[in-house]
Amino acid sequence: MERTFAIIKPDAVERNIIGGILVKIESAGFTVVGLKRIRLTKEQAMGFYYVHKDRPFYDELCSYMARGPIVALVLEKDNAIADWRALMGATNPADAIEGTIRKEFGLSLGENSVHGSDSAESAAYEIPYFFNALELV
């Protein structure tokens, strides 16, 4: 079993589609082992997306992630990291294939509804950024 970190981003929470996204997650065989609705400060979003600090879109990305509540998730499954990336779809919803969450729900490159760890190293940073061990069951 492998764990990965996911976020239902502000654009999706604002549109009341948390449930629709969770249905796709559970239908694909993931177990939700951690779940919380929280609102990040911009500083907390900057810490989370530290790897992108030198990218031109960093400031816009962190402002967006702090503009409203998110749902933070830890998902468990065999091959969870790669399988969650596949279910999310391409970063730009315009490039995402049929059946992916970003194709169905994403609004734009910036407002693409979901986040997922891109590697074991990312998951190891991202999961404890949001959850302690007692919150993962």
Query: Which residues are identified as catalytic?
Result: 115
Residue 85 CB, shortest distance to Mg ion, in Å, is 9
At residue 34, φ and ψ (nearest 5 deg) are -150, 140
Using Cβ positions, the residue closest to Mg ion within the complex turns out to be 118
Q: Which residues pair with 73 in a beta bridge?
A: 6, 35
| Choices 10-18, 30-38, 111-119, 129-137; region in contact with ligand DAT by CB under 6 A | 111-119
57 belongs to the binding site for ligand DAT (CB under 6 A):
yes
109 belongs to the binding site for ligand DAT (CB under 6 A):
yes
C-alpha count within 13 angstroms, C-beta hemisphere, residue 62:
18
Of 63 and 91, which CB lies nearer to ligand DAT in the complex structure? 91
Sign for the pseudo-dihedral over CA of 45, 46, 52, 56: positive
